[in-house]
Structure 1
Amino acid sequence: MSFQLLVRIVVATLLCSRVWAQTSQPKSDADFSPHEVRMIQVEPGLRLEVLDWGGTGRSLILLAGMGDTAHAFDTFARKLRTNYHVYGITRRGFGASGKPEFVTANYSATRLGDDVIAVISALHINRPILAGHSLAGEELSDIGFHHPDVVAGLIYLDAGYTYALYDQAHGQVLLDGLKLREMLSQLVPGNIPTDVPKSLNEIEEQLKLLEREIAEYRSELPPTPTGSGQRAAPPPYLYAIFSGFENFPTIHCPALVIFAEPHDFGPTQDYSASRAAFEARDLRITEYQAKAFESQVPSAHVIRIPHASHYVYRSHEQRVLQEIDAFISSLPN
Structure 2
Amino acid sequence: MSIFFLWGYCFLFSSVQSQQTNQMVTGQMYIEKFIQAEGIRLHYLDWGGSGLPLILIHPLGDSPYIFEDFAAALKNKFRIIAYSRRGHSKSAATVLHYDNSTLVSDIKILLDSLQVNKANLLGWSMGGNEITEFAIRYPERTNKLIYFESGYDLSDDAFRDIIKTIPKSPFPDSLDLLTIDAYRKWYHKFWFSDVEWNSTLEANLHGSTRINSDGSVVTLPNDSISKMFLESATSYHRNYRMIQAPALVIYAKPFFVSPVKDEKVLFGYAEMERNIIHPWRLRSMYQIKAELKNVTIKELPEGSHTSFIFLSKDSLVETIDHFLSH
TM-score between the two structures when normalised by the length of structure 2: 0.68
> In the alignment, which of 84, 108, 129 is matched to residue 117 of structure 1?
108
SS for the counterpart of 1:72 is helix
What CA distance in whole angstroms lies between the structure 2 residues aligned with 1:51 and 1:316? Answer: 23
- CA gap 1:122/1:19 in 2 versus in 1, 3 angstroms: closer
> In the alignment, which of 227, 230, 246 is matched to residue 242 of structure 1?
230
What CA distance in whole angstroms lies between the structure 1 residues aligned with 2:72 and 2:107? Answer: 21
What CA distance in whole angstroms lies between the structure 1 residues aligned with 2:246 and 2:150? Answer: 15
> In the alignment, which of 81, 87, 90 is matched to residue 81 of structure 2?
87
Residue type of the alignment partner of 1:56: S
Task: Answer whether contact 2:8 2:226 (CA < 8 A) is retained.
Answer: no
What CA distance in whole angstroms lies between the structure 1 residues aligned with 2:8 and 2:249? Answer: 18
Task: Answer whether contact 1:50 1:70 (CA < 8 A) is retained.
Answer: yes
What CA distance in whole angstroms lies between the structure 1 residues aligned with 2:131 and 2:166? Answer: 35
**Correspondence 1:42-53 to 2 at 5 A:** 42=37, 44-53=38-47
User: Which residue is 2:279 aligned to?
Assistant: 284
- CA gap 1:61/1:107 in 2 versus in 1, 3 angstroms: same
Task: Answer whether contact 2:59 2:124 (CA < 8 A) is retained.
Answer: yes
Task: Answer whether contact 1:80 1:321 (CA < 8 A) is retained.
Answer: yes
- CA gap 1:148/1:240 in 2 versus in 1, 3 angstroms: same
1:98 deviates by: 0.7
Task: Answer whether contact 2:8 2:225 (CA < 8 A) is retained.
Answer: no
What CA distance in whole angstroms lies between the structure 1 residues aligned with 2:301 and 2:278? Answer: 11
User: Which residue is 2:15 aligned to?
Assistant: none
The structure with the largest alpha-carbon Rg is 1
**Correspondence 1:184-333 to 2 at 5 A:** 222=165, 235-244=223-232, 245-250=235-240, 251-263=243-255, 265-266=257-258, 268-272=260-264, 273-280=267-274, 281-311=276-306, 312-330=308-326
Residue type of the alignment partner of 1:261: K
What CA distance in whole angstroms lies between the structure 1 residues aligned with 2:135 and 2:158? Answer: 21
SS for the counterpart of 2:305 is coil
User: Which residue is 1:54 aligned to?
Assistant: 48
What CA distance in whole angstroms lies between the structure 1 residues aligned with 2:297 and 2:263? Answer: 30
Structure 1 gaps, min length 5: 1-16, 24-30, 167-171, 176-213
User: Which residue is 1:201 aligned to?
Assistant: none
What CA distance in whole angstroms lies between the structure 1 residues aligned with 2:230 and 2:262? Answer: 32
Deviations 1:142-171 (A, max 9, x none): 1122222211011111012224xx6xxxxx
What CA distance in whole angstroms lies between the structure 2 residues aligned with 1:50 and 1:132? Answer: 15
TM-score between the two structures when normalised by the length of structure 1: 0.67
Residue type of the alignment partner of 1:142: E
**Correspondence 1:30-109 to 2 at 5 A:** 33-42=28-37, 44-100=38-94, 102=96, 106-109=97-100
What is the alpha-carbon root mean square deviation over aligned residues?
3.2
What CA distance in whole angstroms lies between the structure 2 residues aligned with 1:326 and 1:174? Answer: 32
Task: Answer whether contact 2:145 2:247 (CA < 8 A) is retained.
Answer: yes
